[in-house]
């Protein structure tokens, strides 16, 4: 039995500009014990899918089943199997950290839970904040509490919606150590969304990519990586690129990145640049990574072929559905 089963899930929002199809017939299963990544550009539908899973939103069509429990008709049982860390920070400002966690335990009918609460506080670096009021915590600490809150009833399925957005390096590492530990030690299933593709590459065994509400890839991380051109040629320039080169390039300010299968491809590009009188600076060749596959599949870097070669980082459409995610981990 899958840990989570999305079956033809569609979601349409009525908006003043007409119906908005946030999800279009999304179907996939997550098996128990998987560390699963859900990726996609801003507005792709990730949070919508997670909200439906968590019972916070209703699917327009299709169904979601958690360990055999339908999230609509069997809400309480489905919810009991889930620990959800929402994208938005929401908490009750009147309680301290330990009280917040005890209340959440009580909500799930879990009593005498202080040993586990202590383990969570220690594991998430909150031990010295147990009696601090929620109002007194920094943003990153509040996020830690949200994570502890999601885990307090020891759910078999952990759902994390961008848990590391805006948090410091230390917490990211603490969090991943802790969650990977639960995944390995207890066999917890993890569903993660993140814009840090390095994280997804390092942690997730399998990945689904969403684009405008549709699944555009569903594969093991290694199979996805194998799809990319094996290398990327990267250099800096202020000059206009020849049109054939510009058409395949990903350009961020002065930085140009091009897929390059092998040394011959690299030589070809450099020769074309020389012919065109372009002097590339800081040339390097790196291995292609998940971000390259992501941009290929989600089309986030497609630009008009005839457009200006130094068009900056803006994607062609400019609509929110195709915008490039803020990939904080890339050094440009």
Ligand X SMILES: Nc1ncnc2c1ncn2[C@@H]1O[C@H](COP(=O)(O)OP(=O)(O)OP(=O)(O)O)[C@@H](O)[C@H]1O
Residues found near ligand X in the complex (CB under 6 A): 13, 15, 20, 22, 40, 42-48, 87
10 contact choice in Mg ion, ligand X, none (CB below 5 to 8 Å, kind-dependent): none
223 contact choice in ligand X, Mg ion, none (CB below 5 to 8 Å, kind-dependent): none
Query: Hunting for tokens 């009750």 — which residue is that?
Result: 92
44 contact choice in Mg ion, ligand X, none (CB below 5 to 8 Å, kind-dependent): ligand X
94 contact choice in ligand X, Mg ion, none (CB below 5 to 8 Å, kind-dependent): none
Please report whether residue 212 would count as binding Mg ion according to CB under 5 A: no
C-alpha span between 141 and 133 (Å, rounded): 11
C-alpha span between 279 and 87 (Å, rounded): 44
- Whichever of 60 and 87 has its CB closer to Mg ion, that residue is 87
Please report whether residue 47 would count as binding Mg ion according to CB under 5 A: yes
- Whichever of 175 and 241 has its CB closer to Mg ion, that residue is 175
**Nearest-approach distance from CB 21 to ligand X, in angstroms:** 8
22 contact choice in Mg ion, ligand X, none (CB below 5 to 8 Å, kind-dependent): ligand X
**Nearest-approach distance from CB 158 to ligand X, in angstroms:** 18
**The pair of three-digit structure tokens given for residue 56, joined into one six-digit string:** 């916070």
- Whichever of 47 and 221 has its CB closer to Mg ion, that residue is 47
- Whichever of 13 and 94 has its CB closer to ligand X, that residue is 13
φ, ψ (nearest 5 deg) of residue 161: -100, 100
- Whichever of 40 and 309 has its CB closer to ligand X, that residue is 40
Binding mask 65-94 for Mg ion (x = CB under 5 A): ----------------------x-------
Residues 247-286, buried b or exposed e (16+ Cβ, 10 A)?
A: eebbbeeebbbbbbeeeebbeebbeebeeeebebeeeeee
48 contact choice in ligand X, Mg ion, none (CB below 5 to 8 Å, kind-dependent): ligand X
User: Do residues 186 and 159 touch, judged by C-beta distance below 8 A?
Assistant: no
Residues that bind Mg ion in the complex, under the rule CB under 5 A = 46-47, 87
């Amino acid at each position: 039995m899958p840990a989570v089963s999305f079956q033809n899930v569609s979601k349409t929002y009525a908006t003043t500009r007409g119906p908005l199809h946030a999800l279009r017939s999304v179907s996939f299963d997550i098996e128990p014990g998987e560390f699963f990544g859900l990726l996609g550009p801003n507005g792709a539908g990730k949070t919508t899918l997670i909200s439906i899973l968590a019972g916070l939103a209703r699917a327009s069509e299709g169904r979601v089943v958690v360990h055999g429990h339908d999230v609509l008709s069997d809400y309480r049982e489905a919810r009991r199997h889930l620990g959800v860390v929402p994208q938005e920070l929401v908490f009750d400002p009147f309680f301290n950290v330990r009280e917040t966690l005890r209340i959440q335990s009580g909500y799930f009918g879990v009593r005498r839970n202080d040993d586990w609460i202590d383990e969570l506080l220690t594991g998430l670096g909150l031990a010295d904040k147990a009696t601090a009021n929620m109002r007194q915590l920094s943003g990153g600490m509040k996020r830690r509490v949200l994570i502890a809150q999601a885990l307090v009833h020891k759910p078999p399925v952990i759902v994390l919606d961008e848990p590391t957005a805006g948090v410091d390096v230390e917490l990211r590492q603490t969090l991943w150590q802790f969650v990977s530990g639960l995944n390995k030690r207890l066999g917890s299933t993890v569903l993660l969304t993140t814009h840090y593709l390095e994280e997804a590459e390092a942690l997730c065994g399998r990945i689904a990519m969403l684009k405008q509400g549709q699944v555009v890839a569903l594969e093991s991380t290694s199979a996805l990586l194998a799809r990319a051109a094996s290398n990327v040629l990267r250099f800096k320039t202020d000059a206009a690129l020849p049109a054939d080169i510009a058409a395949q390039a990903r350009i961020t300010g002065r930085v140009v990145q091009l897929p390059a299968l092998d040394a011959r491809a690299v030589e070809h590009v450099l020769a074309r640049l020389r012919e065109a009188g372009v002097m590339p600076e800081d040339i390097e060749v790196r291995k292609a990574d998940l971000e390259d596959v992501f941009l290929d599949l989600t089309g986030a870097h497609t630009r008009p072929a005839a457009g200006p070669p130094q068009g900056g980082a803006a994607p062609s459409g400019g609509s929110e559905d195709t915008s490039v995610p803020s990939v904080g981990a890339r050094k440009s």
